[in-house]
Structure 1
Amino acid sequence: MSQEHFNLTEKDGKRSIMSNNSRNDFSDNCTDVDNIVKRYYLPAMYGAIFIVGVTGNTTALLVYLVKVRPWKSCTIIMVNLAITDLLFMICLPFLTYYYVSNDSWMLGSLLCRFIRFIFHFNLYGSILFLSCVAIFRYVAVVHPLHMHKIKQKRWGIVACLLAWIVAIAQVSPIFNLFEMNTVDNKTNCLDLASNDPEKVWPYSWVLTVLGYLVPLVVVCLCYWRIIVVLKTGPHMGSKKRLRARRLIVLILTCFIVCFLPYHVLRALRIYTRLVYIPSNSCMLRHGVHAAYIISRPIAVLNIIFNMPLYTLSGDCFKKAFMELFRCKPILTRTEKIVRVAVIREPSTNIQDQSS
């Protein structure tokens, strides 16, 4: 072998070593932040949502079934909303255990797909039920002559049946799109955005447009008209105005704070898996995935935001709750004590002045 050939080989070897070292250095800098978030953030959030959601929705359902009479259309919508949230609560222990076990699923493909189905059914079912609340409130405020008709139970039943049918139709393709893979002897139960990007990309946009954007436009139009009427309508009492405004703020908060980040980040997550991303931009993919993971529990935080809706729905839920849990005698005694204290205070002042 010639000396010149040896020098070239040595130089190529050095280049190769330098290239491998730089690649290793870069891979060390590109941490799997998404896996860290998934393992520690998701179990904590899902565990907290499970505790609050089960307690709050079970209590609300008990109040509606035992104390609230008569049922109106808004009562039926609230009951269906609570049932939808409780269905999702059944799946949270399985998801929590899955992420604590570092993405190791041992319960079979069918249960994996069912749990992912329930997640999306809760999400888009809640959006539809909140849209029904907005439409019914719109009719009651903007068209008061039809208020008594819209309060009838049959309209609530029709609205809820339609919401269930549409929600199931929207999320049923999940059973055919979801897959399970095995990595390092661990079976993964993949979420929607982690499945085949070419399959889930168009379906994700269908869910976003029909399941979120269309209801958002309907809710915004309804509440824009409600705000206009509340500003000029003398027929509304002050308590009703305040309750209607709180209802508007609460539902719009659910749509903007809970649902919007999830849909935006889900699209970004699928897009970063669909297009080519250079190896020196791996943190972009990990960062988008981590943000998408963070948005998933936030999307189902609407379960907690739904609880104040029960007291704002206009079906005497607050009064029924106090009667069921014996809060009324305590409130009555408190009011008497406050009343006596308020009455005695002026008389003491008068005596002090006279002395």
Structure 2
Amino acid sequence: MSILYYGLSNSSIDNCTDVDEKVKHHYLPVCYGTIFIIGVVGNITALLVYLVKVRPWKSSTIIMVNLVVTDLLFMICLPFLTYYYSQYDSWMLGIIMCRFTRFIFHFNLYGSILFLTCLAIFRYVAVVHPMHANSIKQKRWGTLACILCWAVAVAEISPIFNQIEMKLQDNKTYCFDLASNNPEFMWPYSWVLTVVGYLVPLVVVCLCYWRIMKELKKGPHKESKKRVRARRLIVLILTCFIVCFLPFHVLRALRIYTRLTPETNCMLDRWAHAAYIISRPIAAVNVILNLLLYTLSGDCFKQAFVEMFRCDRLVSKTKDIVKVAVISKPTTKITHDQSS
């Protein structure tokens, strides 16, 4: 096992902790299983709301629907990964499914980044250049942006199909993650993914939202509902980029670097691997944060959700119950006082 994951340089060191193996076999199945349950229920619900209730569709709506579809595709691979890690790295579905699950994991990651970047650009045009707002809301721009995002994401991740490997050892078949494959290829390739797939979109998103925030501070009604919702949307998307995506890219680079250097201390190698393992479900949490994004998108999703599941009746009934409780409480107290 150590030869497969760490190379010959560290395989002879017996006093090295197996913290990464413990993290992998106990942490990953729980996290992936939880994300799967929330992601399936939430994204199927979101897709139904968009398809059945949200009208009319705008460019931002099309971007959101494509983001939902990307997250649902990611849900396909999570049961396989959950089972694989719960069985102590025992893959039984062949090389095609191994590569497919790794492909879908990274496609969701970089596809989400691209869709969130498109959303930031469209928001920037609508807020900073209001004369073009009606034009940018037209469906053809959303469709074109999504086609471009899918094409770029597939182009970025397609080398995975030729590089992801399976190895047989001790009657077990290992399906390696991206950073555990050939480090000579993965080192430059991971940097291409980091720069093109993450850092460039991050810069674009930060610039767009910086200009949007400046624009929102101008004029009266700074605390209007639309402006408050816009600020919350900015915070949420930047949280995805910084909290979910940044640790993953930094720790993936560290993981590959430790595999490239034979003189790396065994403990550093193991802890770098453990940290990279922890960062993978954190990156996948963007699937859950996207569910919050839909309610702030400004395309009537929240209202459509309430109407579709008739939450308005539930809310009104709850208010009635609360009113009855509030009114009856002092009455009860007076009766008690009188009886005493």
Match of 2:201 among 201, 211, 215: 215
- Structure 1 equivalent of residue 41 of structure 2: 55
Residue 259 (structure 2) aligns with = 273
How is 1:1-355 mapped onto 2 (pairs within 5 angstroms)? 27-28=14-15, 30-234=16-220, 238-277=224-263, 281-335=265-319
Cα distance in 2 for residues equivalent to 1:341 and 1:47: 40
Q: TM-score, normalised by structure 2?
A: 0.89
Give the secondary-structure state (helix, strand or coil) at the position aligned to 2:174.
strand
AA aligned opposite 1:144: P
1:86/1:113 CA distance change after superposition, 3 Å: same
Distance 2:124 2:28 in 1: 37
The separation in 2 between residues aligned to 1:202 and 1:310, in whole angstroms, is 35
SS of corresponding position for 1:181: strand
CA offset digits 1:223-275 (Å, max 9, x no partner): 00011111114487711110110000000000000000000000000000001
Q: Taking structure 1 as reference, are residues 344 and 153 closer, same or farther at Cα in structure 2, changes over 3 Å only?
A: farther
- Deviations along 1:267-307, one digit per CA (max 9) or x if unpaired, are 000000001225xx211100000000000010110000101
Q: Comparing 180-189 with 241-250, which one deviates more in the overlay?
A: 180-189
- Greater Rg, structure 1 or structure 2? 1
Q: RMSD over aligned Cα, in angstroms?
A: 2.2
CA distance in 2, matches of 1:76, 1:302: 19
**CA deviations over 1:9-36 (Å, ceiling 9, x no partner):** xxxxxxxxxxxxxx9x9723x1111111
Question: How many percent of aligned residue pairs carry the same amino acid?
Answer: 73
Structure 2 unaligned regions, length at least 5 = 1-9, 330-340
3-state DSSP class of the match of 2:73?
A: helix
**C-alpha separation between the residues in 1 aligned to 2:304 and 2:327?**
30
Partner SS, residue 133 of structure 2? helix
- Quote the Cα distance in structure 1 between the aligned partners of 2:261 and 2:27: 28
Distance in 2, Cα, partners of 1:237 & 1:157: 33
After superposing on structure 2, the runs of 4+ consecutive aligned residues of structure 1 that deviate more than 2 Å are 25-28, 233-237, 330-345
Q: What corresponds to 1:20 in structure 2?
A: none
Aligned partners of 2:13 and 2:266 also within 8 Å = no
| Residue identity in the other structure for 1:196 | N
For the residue of structure 2 that corresponds to 1:306, the secondary structure is helix
Whether the aligned pair in 1 keeps the contact of 2:244 and 2:283 (CA below 8 Å) is yes
AA partner of residue 275 (structure 1): T
Equivalent AA in structure 2 for residue 228 of structure 1: K
Q: Structure 1: any 5+ residue segments left out of the alignment?
A: 1-22, 346-355
Query: Residue 19 of structure 1 aligns with which residue?
Result: none
Displacement, 1:77?
0.7
Aligned residues: 320
| Matched residue type, 1:321 | F
**Distance in 1 separating the partners of 2:328 and 2:308:** 33
| Deviation (angstroms), 1:166 | 0.5
1:277 aligned counterpart, secondary structure: coil
SS of residue in 2 equivalent to 1:27: coil
Q: Indicate the larger mover: 188-197 or 234-243.
A: 234-243
Partner of 1:11: none
